[in-house]
Amino acid sequence: MRGIWLKSAGLLMVLLLFSLLLAGCWDYHELETLFIVTGVGLDKAAEPEKMEIILQIGKTRSPATGSSDSSNQKDSIILMKAIKDTTVEGIMQLDQNSSRTLLLHHNQMMILGRDIAEAGVKGRIDGFLRNQEMRMEILVMVADRRAEEILSAKLEEEQISSMYLYGMMQDLYNISPYYKIRMLDFVSRLRDGTSSAVAPIVKLDELEDKKELKLEGMAIFKEDKMVGSLNDQELQGYIWTMGDVRQSGVAAQSDKGRAVFHIAKLETKREVGLKPEGNVRVKLSVYATLDVAELRGFGEMTPLELMPYLVDLSEKQISQQIMAAFKAAQELDADIYGFGLDFHRLHPKVWKTIKKQWDQLFRELELDVEVNVKLPATGQIAKSLEMEDAKP
């Protein structure tokens, strides 16, 4: 009898203790007390060591007020800005000075202002890697001018510009995975030692009545500093060099006419080797399956003559664009392809002896491009209107 009484008393005390503990829940976050950060931008500040940290916060809208009237369009985002030495200091300051807690779990991207990219990023992104709230899958981009204007842009299509960019990169990812640079990819390249990191450049176009964000080539980093960029044509060449392309097109011009091809599949194989005289040679074989998407001109050719001609034309075009990208990279001494990494992976022993002089070797690297195009389909029509024998 006494035992039962004692036990229930003990149980009661345990329960009381629990209520004491459970009432003070530490990690609670309520939706209405949160600011959900959708994008983080870094810009250089006026003082040399400091930077501007810009947070884009997507406002949570309740369905009742989320109707299509344009009155609430202008305040679908909040932009917060702090000037501090490090990202985390900036975020902490913003967190203290705002009515709600900042939630970084849903951050989509890090946008580097051009100035800060050119000044070097290694010391700037530690907070992004260390903080448990940050993810390695956030996108890394370079703003053509300043990150702030990208994050503050209000677009027609999507009110939160970072969501727009995320969607855009997802589309490009379907064309080739090499368009989409996640934090993981970026850091992996930075850590690698010889490879150069790349990151897509976003540009804000201010038209008369609206603003537009678009992809404008790719920034090339040497060590951790942005040293130059690829333009659109070169970017395409770079993407083709990396292979694994599933969509997109090739446009080629010759004196006979203009042809546009649709890429069904483009794959590459590369062999990195050391030549006897000591420089590195890369043999790049491109295997592409194309469709004819549109033709203009080529009037004097018969379909039979045309197909080999088109194959030849597209091969030349692909090869030329690949070489253009390669020349651009070579001029910057930036191994954006990871040829050095290939070499390291395939010939680890030799690599140890040449690692130090890789910059020199890359400058003198020979790239042999061999393009094999298959052109199995001509689209819905076999003959074009301009062809000689198409006329009755």
Is 291 a binding residue for other proteins by CB under 8 A? The answer is no
Structure tokens at 160: 């939160």
Cβ-based nearer residue to other proteins, 191 or 225: 191
Structure tokens at 30: 């309520």
Question: How many residues in the shown chain lie near other proteins by CB under 8 A?
Answer: 29
Judged by CB under 8 A, which stretch of 128-136, 149-157, 223-231, 267-275 contacts other proteins?
Answer: 128-136
State the greatest distance between any 2 C-alpha atoms of the chain, in Å, as a whole number.
Answer: 113
**CB-neighbour burial class of residue 352 (10 A; exposed 0-12, middle 13-18, buried 19+):** exposed
* Among positions 67, 132, 353, 380, the unique one binding other proteins when judged by CB under 8 A: 132
Q: Whole-angstrom Cα distance, residue 380 to residue 186?
A: 42
* Among positions 12, 15, 79, 129, the unique one binding other proteins when judged by CB under 8 A: 129
* Among positions 12, 15, 346, 382, the unique one binding other proteins when judged by CB under 8 A: 346
Contact 222, 334 (CB under 8 A): yes
Question: x/- contact string, 106-125, with other proteins (CB under 8 A)?
Answer: x-------------------
Evaluate the CA torsion angle 322, 323, 328, 332 in order and state its sign: positive
Is 26 a binding residue for other proteins by CB under 8 A? The answer is yes
Q: Whole-angstrom Cα distance, residue 321 to residue 331?
A: 15
Is 269 a binding residue for other proteins by CB under 8 A? The answer is no
Contacts with 69 (C-beta within 8 Å, 6 or more apart), sequence order: none
Question: x/- contact string, 150-189, with other proteins (CB under 8 A)?
Answer: --------------------x-----------x-x--xx-
Among 112, 110, 107, residue whose Cα is nearest residue 58 = 107
5-24: contacts with other proteins (CB under 8 A): 6, 10, 13-14, 17, 20-21
Query: What distances in angstroms separate CA 313 from CA 195, 235, 369, one per listed residue?
Result: 32, 20, 15
Q: Whole-angstrom Cα distance, residue 266 to residue 245?
A: 5
Cβ-based nearer residue to other proteins, 130 or 363: 130
Q: Which residues bind other proteins (CB under 8 A)?
A: 6, 10, 13-14, 17, 20-21, 26-27, 105-106, 129, 132, 135-137, 170, 182, 184, 187-188, 191-192, 342, 344-346, 348, 351
